Amino acid sequence: MINQYDMLRQVSRTFALSIEQLPRILRDSVTVAYLLLRVSDCLEDEGVMSPERRAELLRLWQRVLSGVAPTHELCGNIMDLDGTDPEVYVAQHADAVLDQMRRLPEEIQSHIVRYVGETSLGMAEWQEKGSIVRTEEELDDYMHYVAGIVGHLLTELFAWHSPHIRDRKEELMPLSREYGLALQTVNVIRGMRKDFNRGWVFVPRTFYERAGLSSAEELFDPANLDRAMRVVDMLVRKAERHLGHGIGFIAAFPRREHRIRLACMWPLFFAAKTLAVSRNNKNVLLAEAKIGREQVKEIMRDTTVFGWSNHWLQWYYNHIADTPRLLTAGT
């Protein structure tokens, strides 16, 4: 029998850290939701497929989630993909993850099916639009589907679990979208080069045109490094705006829900530290920006002890954001 937590650790060690310390029912629910979202990610990202095939499979996946199409129809269509890739492995075993979902309370199942389905359909639309993002508004639209909706899903699950969070749900929902956009904007920055190499450019065209560059190719041309760094700075400032709202999202959770707060704190502070190492660092255009394991451990330790305090939370964010370190590629 396939273990959902083994799958989780294989596809993301950092998100596994956050998810696995949640209260039990939330741990199970968020793990299943995350794995189903990774199926969508696999169908969107897999490099050997054409955009048309990706869009078709993403729509099929939404029908599978809704119970309109059988799971084997999807799994049979992706058996040609490399199953040694952890994300592909999850997609090829989507039936096992769906079996785990069906053991969850019906209301949780409903939330997961709705939001993972919305994400998948949004991804399909973007596959058909093409690989160039023209404006910041278009970037936000894309990020809403791949990350903002995830913020909404998490808030629904947390509100189901906690009446204290349920009372604040109306306040939390718009902040949860900003939280998702914050994490995804940092992903755009840290993966600029990798995305470009696979044919996708999530940097808005208006950003690099504002810096005097006429194409994505010019953005990654070493001869244009100074102007390209102006584009990185635009993205950094955008990420900082979203991260500020992300702090508000976490601060709006009752202090008694410390484990839920921590599950949201860790990805946000990891993103803030990644942003710090990317700021004013020309290597971000050459390699994927990452933080080291010791930095991850330090953030987890500090937030576990002090993260119940909203005042400390804001101070710690400022501390991390204002202390950039050199990029460590490949750690």
The fold of 131-331 is Farnesyl Diphosphate Synthase (1.10.600)
Q: What is the pLDDT along the chain (331 residues), one digit of tens a residue?
A: 678 999 999 999 889 999 999 999 999 999 999 999 999 999 998 878 999 999 999 999 999 999 999 999 999 999 999 989 999 999 999 999 999 999 999 999 999 999 999 999 999 999 999 878 999 999 999 999 999 999 999 999 999 999 999 999 999 999 999 999 999 999 999 999 888 988 889 999 999 999 999 999 999 999 999 999 999 999 999 999 999 999 999 999 999 999 999 999 999 999 999 999 888 888 888 877 788 899 999 999 999 999 999 999 999 999 998 644 433 333 2
Superfamily of the domain at 1-129: Farnesyl Diphosphate Synthase (1.10.600.10)
Q: Which of 181, 201, 199 is nearest to 271 (CA)?
A: 181
What sign does the dihedral 36-191-154-145 (CA atoms) show?
negative
Q: Where are the domains of the chain?
A: 1-129, 131-331
Global confidence as pTM: 0.93
Helix (H, G, I), strand (E, B) or coil at 3: coil
CA atoms of 139 and 282, how far apart (whole Å): 23
Per the CB < 8 A criterion, the answer to whether 255 and 313 are in contact is no
**Residues 6+ positions from 257 with CB-CB distance below 8 Å:** 158, 162, 164, 165
1-129 and 131-331 share one CATH topology? yes
